[in-house]
Structure 1
Amino acid sequence: MKMTKMVNSAQVERDWIVLDAEGKTFGRLVTEIATYLRGKHKPYFTPHVDCGDHVIVINASKVKFSGANKLEDKQYHRHSGYFGSVKSEKLGELVQKNPEKLFKLATRGMLPKTKLGRAMLKKLRVYAGSEHPHTAQVKAKEN
């Protein structure tokens, strides 16, 4: 009888994946990031175990967006809970000032909304430029 293999967190092998965002479409790149963080690209994917890899995104400020006016029209809102404290930022401002926050916001929506999802999101590192301090962890292969 064949049984489905369920891995636990001690059996998971984690890799470091480097993704270059220059010229890639934002939504498709974030979907790829979420797949790597979740571990769905591995043959032993288990939904209740964090079996994803570490993901490094470089050149985050050079990502491409679909839509002609999306950089001026799309807004991200945040609210502290007090009356009248809604603050908004346009997508174009967020890409220039803080692309790390933009990638984390978009990726968070594609991960589980539990402790497991928060643990997966901690393995995402985003850098606006082409340099990153994780060269010792990354093997010779880069995507």
Structure 2
Amino acid sequence: MIINKNITHFNYSIEKKWYIINAANQTLGRLSSKVAYILQGKNNIEYAPHIQNDTHVIIINSKLIRVTGNKRTQKAYKKHSGKPGSLKIETFDKLQARIPNRILEKAIKGMLPKNSIGRKMFTRIKIYANSEHPHSAQKPLLINEI
């Protein structure tokens, strides 16, 4: 039996990156899948599913997101408190008028892994309804067209 004692260990350099994404006139599903792709670190050459990268994503203009087809009136968002008769159903239009960030949050969270790493990834996303955000000190990369 031959044992190789010269085992090399990979040294991953975790670099903090900030991305700003303008959601104005972007399709909900396409934007959400690309943001989930960036949060998972799959756009990096050193991607490994068990390594937590330090990527942060800022999404601005979430109130201007668009959907195709009849989803604006037919798509339903449901919530339930657990008590009998407490099911609340809200359409895309009503939720976008009330809380426009919640639409993108639910779409992106559904595309992330369902484990502790996915929950940590979700904390690194910041969504704002307008074009103003308080993260100007980080010098983020501006992505207009994804």
- TM-score relative to the length of structure 2: 0.87
Q: d(CA) in 1 for partners of 2:128 and 2:51?
A: 27
Give the match for residue 127 of structure 1.
128
Tell me the residue number matched to 2:55.
53
| Misfit runs of 4+, over 4 Å | 3-6
Q: Distance in 2 between matches of 1:32 and 1:47?
A: 17
Give the TM-score taking structure 1 as reference length: 0.89
Q: How many percent of aligned residue pairs carry the same amino acid?
A: 36
| 1:38–1:52 contact (8 Å) kept in structure 2 | no
Residue matched to 1:142: 142
**In structure 2, what is the Cα distance between the partners aligned to 1:43 and 1:100?**
30
1:29-87 alpha-carbon deviations (Å, 9 max, x no partner): 001110111111001111012215100000110111111x2111110101111111111
In the alignment, residue 72 of structure 2 is paired with which amino acid? L
SS in structure 1 of the partner of residue 142 of structure 2: coil
- Name the larger-Rg structure: 2
- Paired position in structure 2 for 1:22: 24
State the number of aligned residues. 138
- What do you get for the CA RMSD once the two structures are aligned? 1.9
User: Where does structure 2 lack aligned partners over 5 or more consecutive residues?
Assistant: 1-5
- The answer as to whether partners of 1:36 and 1:52 remain within 8 angstroms in 2 is no
Code of the residue aligned with 2:44 in structure 1: it is: K
SS of 2:45's equivalent in the other structure is coil
Could you say which residue in structure 1 is the equivalent of 2:107?
106
